[in-house]
Amino acid sequence: MPRPADLSSALLSAAGSIRKACAYLALLALPCATPLAAEPPSDSLPPDVARFILANTEFSLMHEMGHMLIIEYDLPVLGREEDAADQLGFLALFELYSTLPTAEVDARLLDIADYWRLEWQRPKPVRERVLAWDSHPLDEQRYYNIACLLYGSDMRRLDWVPELTELPYERALYCDREFRQARKALDWASSAYQHKAIQRRAAIQVTYGQSSGAIPDFDQLLAPLLENSNLQRLAEDMVKLFHPPRPLTVRVMACGAPDAWYNSNIGELTLCYERLAHFRDLAETLPRLQPPYAWRCPNANANTLSAC
């Protein structure tokens, strides 16, 4: 059965088996041995692109929530705060995703890792580059750190992750230990501080500002966050998990740059509309998120298909 050239080079040469190909297709929610999928309506984002935007929006907010924990509770941090916020954010999402189907969880977490791969590999003007002296880790490091946490969450079930992400064996060998360490830190942080008085009232508010009008297809871009109240539910789940010491606001607004931050002076997490547009632009360059109607499944009669 023919496959796109980008799938052949990015996956089959690395995985080398139908089992890996099927696991990969499962991440994209593409059924095997079915006709070509219908093209999504032109007035909405492709489902995989919408998922990529949602997953990385969620990670951005959870990363900033990691900063909130560190600042508000004066948590001890060994190493850089940005690394700690990444780990806290990723593990928090892993916990909050526990009610989702396994394939959806895998796909979202892989979307988050792939965002950092795309950031690392895209050409950048000098002003956007992360330099070695910066408090933020290099994009390449963040990519491998997140890929390692994903793999370490279940190394037996996710045995296809190192090949798909090109995570070196020398790093992959200890990813389960990295995951356990990060999870232990999250469990301690979420249980060591309890502010039940605040939990009895609305402790978090999500607000949306006006668009600047400079972002194309703005309504499409915002739809993944508003659908099923995804962002509001995530914010409420954050409160239950982290027990913030004071009321918080999540403000989604136009900022003029694809950014996100936590303002400890007023207890406000800000996410920029331009960041959502940046997620969309990068998602549309990712080969595995190309329109599903261009894909075909492996031979349904293959003996090894049952391993998918």
Q: Give yes or no for a contact between 301 and 295, defined as CB atoms under 8 angstroms apart.
A: no
Q: What percent of the chain has pLDDT over 90?
A: 44
Average pLDDT along the chain: 79
Does position 299 have pLDDT exceeding 80, yes or no?
no
DSSP 3-state of 212: coil
DSSP letter, residue 10 = I
Does position 200 have pLDDT exceeding 80, yes or no?
no
Does position 64 have pLDDT exceeding 60, yes or no?
yes
Does position 16 have pLDDT exceeding 80, yes or no?
no
Q: Give yes or no for a contact between 269 and 249, defined as CB atoms under 8 angstroms apart.
A: yes
Q: At 28, is the pLDDT very low, low, confident or very high (cuts 50, 70, 90)? A: very low
The predicted-structure confidence for 243-270, as pLDDT tens digits, reads as follows 788 889 999 999 989 999 999 999 999 9
CB neighbour list of residue 295: distance below 8 Å, 6 or more residues apart = 3, 4, 7, 25, 28, 30, 36, 37
Question: Closest by alpha carbon to 48, among 70, 68, 25, 69?
Answer: 25
